[in-house]
Structure formats: structure tokens, C-alpha cells
Amino acid sequence: MNVLIVYAHPEPKSFNGAMKDTAVEVLTARGHEVVVSDLYAMGFQPVAGPADVEGNLINPDFFSLATEQTAAYDGGRTAPDIVGEMEKLKRADLLIFQFPIWWFGMPAILKGWADRVFARGFAYMAGRKYDTGMFKGKLAMVACTTGTSADTYAPDGIDGDVLTVLWPLHNGLFRYSGFDVLPPFVVYMPGRVGDDGRNTYLEAYRKRLGGLDAVPRLFFHPAEDYGPNERLRPGVLARSGVQRNV
Amino acid sequence: MNVLIVYAHPEPKSFNGAMKDTAVEVLTARGHEVVVSDLYAMGFQPVAGPADVEGNLINPDFFSLATEQTAAYDGGRTAPDIVGEMEKLKRADLLIFQFPIWWFGMPAILKGWADRVFARGFAYMAGRKYDTGMFKGKLAMVACTTGTSADTYAPDGIDGDVLTVLWPLHNGLFRYSGFDVLPPFVVYMPGRVGDDGRNTYLEAYRKRLGGLDAVPRLFFHPAEDYGPNERLRPGVLARSGVQRNV
């Protein structure tokens, strides 16, 4: 497999850094090709806007990100820093996002990688989403750390189910663009568990990475479960309740 | 009231821009003081990191965002662009986030505003969260646009319940730091509804802004519903099912 790890942490000696290093080591040892986008080290610029396009805008009087992304991609005028990431993503069979959960989501530098690299024309377009998404056949996984406990991220926890917190990323970014999605590998409060706890987590992460084929993918309803209005058909709804990962 | 609108769109003539202008007009006419942080116009830098601190880091060998944010805030060494936003937020009774939903969340420039401005020591600290959050008594609201239909954001829609998509922001950012939270004002596909549809949306937004006192706040379980492990007490769980907004 070709693997792309998009890594977003300002401190190389952080536990996120250790998880990234562990993934590179384990996956390389198993014969995979691993590429890392170290966004902080790259000084990645995360703000989507007119500078994402080289040359003239389609409409200089009204900037539409979707319109300009599509035209730039089709015309080979996407900014070089984005093209470099798109090329890595095209080659990847497995995409890993490695990040600390900051304010219940990705650090801005990683969100902006998604905003700019998952551009219209490249990552989605009319009629191409979910089961027919552009990246069908690829696999994605979140590997992240938290600042609060596993209890707080339980379905009845005060922070909300970790799968609800990650829903915008799992369903919204990955599944929308066609990926199959592995369950997240979540490390709770790595700063509070001591060296033994951290080593236990890294060992578990090694095992996860060494046995990805055996890990059940997250459940998302297939296209046929939805009616023409993109809501679950009544029979499906009665069977499954609201749409959620299980 | 003092109102802070944090506005994130690269195009002033966008519908997000029109919503921001409408809010300024309506709220000012009602006697409120309105301040806008126009993040694209400001060239706001959204990447949290060592540059958020002036002078020496507490630990130059290991950058911890939470540690450095706290020390910087306590010592008056927070970077000036962040301090400016903190001052606006301190004065605000109502905070509005105005943004297009990009990849099921905030544009990176706005996520980074949260990462940097909602700093530890200022926006949260040990023992101060949710019902005891630092911004208790303030009110917050999302005003956003989507690229897909209201059906797709229904509880049984393919994109997921809009309240699930916004959970990380409603519960995770706003409620965690003590805000009461108004229901989001969501404009579905403003590019597809024509001038009449857009005017109808703006008229509805005027009405919303003119009657905020009468709008029921989003429901979040109060502190007493949680046990010492920050999970819902058994009786509460049986009554409410999983933790969700209603």
C-alpha cells in the first residue's frame, strides 16, 4: 500500500509525533510506502482563497471557492503547494490524519489542508459523493489525542460520543469523498498516563497498524438506503433509528 | 448588548457577507453595539503555535500549546493579534459565528480563531467548563450557509443531522466555555434559491435577530445530570437516551 500520513502538531517530541513515527516505522517494516505531510514543519498555509488559483480568476468580481477550485483544477492552474498534496493523495491507498483534538476538531492547519486539497473537481463534483465518491477504493483513518477522558467521550459523556465529535470528519470529509473509514484510534489524555501508559498506547497502535485488514470499517448507510431526497427510506429508518455510526 | 460577529468568507458580496451586513444593520438599529472581526479582510493568521507567545517560552524544548497559552495569558505575553480578539470577546454579550460550512465545519481561518483566541487561561482552565465555564452569562449563535439541501441535514439525511454536524462547535466550543447557545440560523444552498429565496432568508434572519429573547436556547444537560465520571447519571440516561440536543 501507499500510505499518506497528514500530521498536524507543532511539537515533534509530542505524543502525536511519537504516533506518527510509530506509524512510519510499522508500516514501512511491513513493506508499505509511507509519505508524511508534516504540516507545521512545511509551514502549510491553511486559508482557502483566491491565492489557491494561479493566473486569472474565472470571476474576479465574485470569488466562489467551488467555482474557482473546479476551473483551476481542470485547467492545471491550482497553486503548486496544493498540487503537491493532491499528488500525494492520488497515490495513497490509505490516508491517516494524525492530530490532537483542539476544540473538538482538527487544528486549523489540518482543517485548511482539507479545505484546500479536497478541492471541487478533484475531491468531489456533481453526482460524485459517498458511494460514488472520487476516492472510492481508498481507506482513511483518524489517529488523534484528547485533552479529556474516555468517559467524557462516551455516548453518555459530557463531551459527547467521540463518533459524534468526529462525524464531520468521518462522514463529512472521508465518506463524502468515497473513502472507506476505519474506526478512529483515540489516545485519551496522553499527558496524564505516564510513560507506561504511553507505551501501552503505542503498542496498541502498532497492533492496530499491523492488522488493518481485520478491523471492521465504520458503518455508513449505502446509497440504496436513501430515497431520492437523500433521506433514509422509511423502512430503513424504522430499522436503524437515526443515522449514526454503530 | 455588545455583539461580536466573527465573519469568515473571502468574498464580501457573498451571501455570508449579506447576512453579516444584515446583522450589523438590524442589531445596530436596535441600539446594540456591534463589532465585526472580518477574518479574511484582517488576514487573520489561524495557525496556533509558538508565535502566539511573546518573549521566552516556558519550555523551549517541548512546546505545549495549553501550557504556553496559560503562561502567556497570565503573564501578559499573548501575541497582540490574539489579545485584540480576546478584548472584543470579553466585551461581547452575544457572539455570532458567520461562515459557510466547508467540509462540514468552519473554514480553517475561523477554526484557527477559536484555537488561538479561546486560549487556556482565558477561555478555560481546570474546574471551569460547561456550567462553570469562563464565559457564563454570554450568548452564542452560529449563522451559516450550506452547499447541500435541508433534507441532507435532516436527522435521517445523508449528511447527518445539522445539530450533529455542529455539535463540536455548539457543545464543544461554545457550551464548554460557558455560553448559552441559540439554535443555529442555517441557510441551505443560498446559491440555488434565486433572489426571492435569498431575500426570504434575509427577512427571516432579520426576524430572528430582532427577537432573540424569545428564541429557546439549545438544550444541554446541566452539571447535576452528570456523575463524578462526567457521564450521565443512570436515571438521567434512561430518561433521555443518548446525549443530544433536542
**Tens digit of each residue's pLDDT (9 = 90 or more) over B25-60:** 999 999 999 999 999 999 999 999 999 999 999 999
Candidates B103, B152, B226; nearest CB to A173:
B103
Domain total for chain B?
Answer: 2
Q: Pick from A11, A59, A65, A111 the residue to mutate for testing the B interface (most B CBs within 10 Å).
A: A111
Contacts of B51 in chain A (CB under 8 A): none
The reply to whether ipTM tops 0.90 is: yes
CA A164 – CA A150 distance, rounded (Å): 14
Question: What confidence tens digit (pLDDT) does each residue in A156-207 have?
Answer: 899 999 999 999 999 999 999 999 999 999 999 999 999 999 999 999 999 9
Q: Do residues A100 and A207 both lie within one domain? A: yes
Contact A11 B63 (CB under 8 A): yes
For the segment A215-229, the average pLDDT, to the nearest whole number, is 93
Q: Pick from A164, A173, A198, A244 the residue to mutate for testing the B interface (most B CBs within 10 Å).
A: A164
How many Cβ contacts (< 8 angstroms) between chains A and B? 198
Residue numbers of the domain that contains B243 = 222-246
Q: Do residues B84 and B186 both lie within one domain? A: yes
Say what percent of chain B tops pLDDT 90: 93
Single-letter code of the amino acid located at B91: R
Q: Which residues, 6 or more positions from A96, have their beta carbon under 8 angstroms from its beta carbon? A: A3, A4, A5, A6, A23, A140, A141, A142, A143
For A77, phi then psi, to 5°, come to -115, 15
Single-letter code of the amino acid located at B105: G
Q: Do residues B140 and B111 both lie within one domain? A: yes
Residue of A nearest to B109 (CA): A47
Question: What confidence tens digit (pLDDT) does each residue in A79-113 have?
Answer: 999 999 999 999 999 999 999 999 999 999 999 99
Q: Do residues B57 and B121 both lie within one domain? A: yes
pLDDT value for A98: 99
Contact A158 B230 (CB under 8 A): yes
Residue of B nearest to A114 (CA): B103
Candidates B13, B66, B160; nearest CB to A243:
B160
Residue of B nearest to A60 (CA): B11
pLDDT band at A240 (very low <50, low <70, confident <90, very high): very low
Contact B226 A169 (CB under 8 A): no
Contact B48 A168 (CB under 8 A): no
CA-wise closest residue to A53 among B221, B10, B93, B75: B10
Secondary element (H or E) of residue A191: none
CA A117 – CA A83 distance, rounded (Å): 8
Residue B67's CATH number = 3.40.50.360
Q: Do residues A42 and A160 both lie within one domain? A: yes
CA B70 – CA A241 distance, rounded (Å): 43
Q: Do residues A192 and A230 both lie within one domain? A: no
Question: What confidence tens digit (pLDDT) does each residue in A138-162 have?
Answer: 999 999 999 999 999 998 899 999 9
Q: Do residues A206 and A225 both lie within one domain? A: no
pLDDT value for B173: 98
Q: Do residues B19 and B69 both lie within one domain? A: yes
Q: Do residues A148 and A244 both lie within one domain? A: no
CA B158 – CA B152 distance, rounded (Å): 5
The whole-angstrom distance between A44's CA and the closest CA on chain B is 9
CA B129 – CA B35 distance, rounded (Å): 26
Question: What confidence tens digit (pLDDT) does each residue in A47-60 have?
Answer: 999 999 999 999 99
Q: Is the pLDDT of residue B171 over 50?
A: yes
For the segment B173-202, the average pLDDT, to the nearest whole number, is 97
DSSP B148: S
CA A103 – CA A226 distance, rounded (Å): 32
Q: Do residues B236 and B139 both lie within one domain? A: no
Question: What confidence tens digit (pLDDT) does each residue in A18-34 have?
Answer: 999 999 999 999 999 99
Contacts of A109 in chain B (CB under 8 A): 46-47, 108, 112
Q: Do residues B113 and B203 both lie within one domain? A: yes
Contact B104 A173 (CB under 8 A): yes
Contacts of B118 in chain A (CB under 8 A): 103
Q: Is the pLDDT of residue A132 over 50?
A: yes
Q: Do residues B33 and B84 both lie within one domain? A: yes
Residue whose C-alpha cell reads 478584548 in the numeric block: B87
Q: Is the pLDDT of residue B112 over 60?
A: yes
Secondary element (H or E) of residue B42: helix B39-42
Residue whose C-alpha cell reads 502498532 in the numeric block: A206
Mean confidence (pLDDT) of chain B: 95
Contact A109 B47 (CB under 8 A): yes
